[in-house]
């Protein structure tokens, strides 16, 4: 059975979607939490969601922009000040960016998406792994995407960043395995979160529901995944139950990435 009793889990992008679902999941299993997001409102809502399932759970919230290394260092320092250690790190914060074919993709948008989705993940790894190496233990899960393991179209920045996350995951896992640290990634597909909902609005601003229904028909399951279905996998990878799972990229997409 998975347990996070006496464990400290740090989550970025904790104010919504996969971050919130994972926070609720690990809190219900005994974790103390450091919750990081750029949205104060989102963090407050996540704390309220945690209180409903685990009213005794200890948590701190840190408002931070993960693309700013100084703010990343600060959220790590705040976690250590509050709890003294970091046992699990869900390196999750990210954005989709605007959808356009490569020739029309805005260069500033490309830089913005990479700064959050790739540099933000790197900064998190850099500062958290230093702590875990000193502890000689820890579990990291990075959020990649099916867009990081195959082409999806119209998302140059997102695809480049998420492919980069896969590379960072494998590279760091090779470097830090000897220190009792596991580093894996999840590659969610069509999970119904605010990000995916916004993506459907980009596909069809006037009728996003129709776009959503058409989009999911190519999935073997014919349905969207749920945030808590991803959270269950993340919680496993963050736990000691996954102590020999390392350098893996786990697709959570209903099988769509394997469909010809």
Which residues are marked as active site? Answer: 158
Instruction: Check: CB of residue 82 under 8 Å from CB of residue 34.
Output: yes
DSSP character at residue 117: I
Residue 93 has a CB neighbour count (10 Å cut-off) of 26
* CB-based burial, 173-187: b 16+ in 10 Å, e otherwise: beebeeeebbbbbbb
* Cα distance between residue 164 and residue 169, in whole Å: 9
114-117 — which CB contacts under 8 Å span 24+ positions?
114/157, 114/160, 114/161, 114/164, 115/67, 116/66, 116/67, 116/161, 117/157, 117/158, 117/161, 117/162, 117/164, 117/165
Neighbour order of strands in the sheet with 138-143: 59-63, 32-37, 8-12, 88-91, 138-143, 181-188, 249-252
- Distance, CA of 187 to chain centre: 9
């Amino acid at each position: 059975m998975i347990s996070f009793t006496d464990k400290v889990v740090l989550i970025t992008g904790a104010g919504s979607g996969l971050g919130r679902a994972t926070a609720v999941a690990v809190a219900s299993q005994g974790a103390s939490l450091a919750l990081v997001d750029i949205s104060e409102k989102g963090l407050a809502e996540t704390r309220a969601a945690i209180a409903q399932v685990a009213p005794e759970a200890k948590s701190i919230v840190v408002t931070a922009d993960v693309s700013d290394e100084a703010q990343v260092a600060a959220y790590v320092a705040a976690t250590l000040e509050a709890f003294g250690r970091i046992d699990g790190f869900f390196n999750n914060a990210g954005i989709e960016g605007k959808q356009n074919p490569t020739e029309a993709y805005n260069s500033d948008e490309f830089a913005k998406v990479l700064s959050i989705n790739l540099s933000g993940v790197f900064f998190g790894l850099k500062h958290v792994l230093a702590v875990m190496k000193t502890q000689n233990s820890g579990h990291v899960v990075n959020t990649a995407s099916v867009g990081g393991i195959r082409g999806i179209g119209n998302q140059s920045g997102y695809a480049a960043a998420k492919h980069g996350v896969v590379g960072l995951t494998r590279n760091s896992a090779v470097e830090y395995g000897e220190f009792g640290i596991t580093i894996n990634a999840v590659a969610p597909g069509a999970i119904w979160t605010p990000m995916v909902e916004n993506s459907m609005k980009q596909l069809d601003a006037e009728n996003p529901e129709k776009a959503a229904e058409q989009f999911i028909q190519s999935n073997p399951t014919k349905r969207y995944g749920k945030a808590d279905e991803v959270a269950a996998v993340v919680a496993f990878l963050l736990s000691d139950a996954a102590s020999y799972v390392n350098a893996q990229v786990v697709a959570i997409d209903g099988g769509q990435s394997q469909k010809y």
